[in-house]
Amino acid sequence: MSKKVLVTGGLGYIGSHTVVELLDSGYTPIVLDNLSTSDLEVMDRIEHISGQRPIFEEVNMCDAVALRKVFEKHPDLSGVIHFAAYLLVDESVHQPLKYYQNNLVSTMNLLELMSEFKVKSMVFSSSCTVYGIPDTLPVNEAESVKEAESPYGNTKRIGEEIIRDATRSEELKTISLRYFNPIGAHHSGILGEFQEGVPHHLVPYITETAIGKRSGLKVFGGDYDTRDGTCIRDYIHVVDIAKAHISALEVATEMEPGVNDIINLGSGEGSTVLEMIHAFQNATGINIPHEVVARRPGDVPAVYADISKAKKVLNWEPVHSLEEMLASAWKFEQTLNK
């Protein structure tokens, strides 16, 4: 009997790619989502790719009674991968209580039920945003966590601490994965990063410019202390991120009860915004009209990962190049607009 894994936020960008990897690895994912920022059509896409349609539970995790019903229905869960969260930095600045309420209450409800139903292993979706402006680069997990640049980032920092403390008190086995900048799409082109309205993130904005939905890209700031004046980020293929979750789940299951670990997930390389534009043009042959404008509040000048711990603990390393990441994002954009 294959191992059942509860995947919260399983219809989201990283969640859906991880569900595909879980199915490919012989797990039985239970996909939990409240459809607030995703669509049931993603289930069809997962089925199309993997040839299997996972069990779907439409649940708002802030509703503890509804979430309990999922644990009662699936008393044989072997672990949890917890993606479910609101994740838009600028939205969180304008609606902090919505973010604290959703991202933290859902996590606390989940931890209480894991303890009650003796589900010990959890992998948590955290973010490099907890590093703020890092003291050293590349940044490693020993770096101190900084004052978050946004309420979204704060929910990740506080979420990590809630999980760390509950791990000790409830004898759980947990790993928080700090993603850098996930980009790209499944090679099929039918799963990817879909953002309603005007894209907040760089790569969806580039692909929407390439397909003609946007007239040009605004580069937020050209006067940073970097090699070309634009911000540096560590871009990592979403499928590399998804595969790391399978490894992390297996490692967590083998950990001693009461142990929590924290691991960076990035490429280990930094790329500037202008380098991303040029990489996209190299990967697709498409020119991206762009202009440098004022800085975006809350952006950090440069952040990229030391991934030596992920290599050691998860026996994982990224395999996709920047051009492959961008070509896959472009393929997804073209599929969306067929």
Catalytic residue numbers? Answer: 152
By CB under 6 A, tell whether 46 contacts ligand WQD. no
Residue from 16, 129, 209, 247 that binds ligand WQD (CB under 6 A)? 129
Task: State in angstroms the smallest separation of the CB of 28 from ligand WQD.
Answer: 27
Residue from 32, 219, 279, 310 that binds ligand WQD (CB under 6 A)? 219
- For helices 322-336 and 202-210, angle between their N-to-C axes, nearest 10 degrees: 60
> What tokens were used for 142?
């020993």
Please give the C-alpha separations between residue 237 and each of 102, 158, 181, 266, 267, in angstroms, as whole numbers. 27, 26, 8, 9, 8
* Pick 251 or 273: Cβ nearer ligand WQD: 273
Nearest CA to 10 out of 25, 24, 31, 26 is that of 31
Geometric angle at alpha carbon 35, from 32 and 41, rounded to 5°: 95
By CB under 6 A, tell whether 233 contacts ligand WQD. yes
By CB under 6 A, tell whether 220 contacts ligand WQD. yes
By CB under 6 A, tell whether 179 contacts ligand WQD. yes
Task: State in angstroms the smallest separation of the CB of 292 from ligand WQD.
Answer: 9
By CB under 6 A, tell whether 205 contacts ligand WQD. yes
Contact range with ligand WQD by CB under 6 A, out of 2-10, 57-65, 166-174, 196-204: 196-204
Binding mask 133-172 for ligand WQD (x = CB under 6 A): ----------------------------------------
Residue from 77, 191, 231, 252 that binds ligand WQD (CB under 6 A)? 231
Task: State in angstroms the smallest separation of the CB of 240 from ligand WQD.
Answer: 15
By CB under 6 A, tell whether 11 contacts ligand WQD. no
- Judged by CB under 6 A, the chain residues 77 through 106 that form the site for ligand WQD are 87, 89
All residues at 6 or more sequence positions from 320 whose CB lies less than 8 Å from its CB, including other chains? 184, 237, 239, 240, 328
* Pick 64 or 88: Cβ nearer ligand WQD: 88
By CB under 6 A, tell whether 127 contacts ligand WQD. yes
User: For residues 261-299, b (16+ Cβ closer than 10 Å) or e, as one string?
Assistant: bbbbbbbbbbbbbbbbbebbeebbeeebebebeebeeeb
DSSP 114-144: HHHTT--EEEEEEEGGGG-S-SSSSB-TTSP
Which amino acid, one-letter code, is at 334?
Q
Q: What is the DSSP letter of 294?
A: P
Q: What is the DSSP letter of 4?
A: E
Binding mask 299-318 for ligand WQD (x = CB under 6 A): x-------------------
By CB under 6 A, tell whether 274 contacts ligand WQD. no
Q: SS3 for 302?
A: strand
Please give the C-alpha separations between residue 284 and each of 27, 207, 260, 271, 327, in angstroms, as whole numbers. 35, 10, 42, 18, 6
* Pick 205 or 280: Cβ nearer ligand WQD: 205
Q: Which residues contact ligand WQD by CB under 6 A?
A: 87, 89, 127, 129, 179, 181, 200-202, 205, 217-220, 231, 233, 273, 296, 299
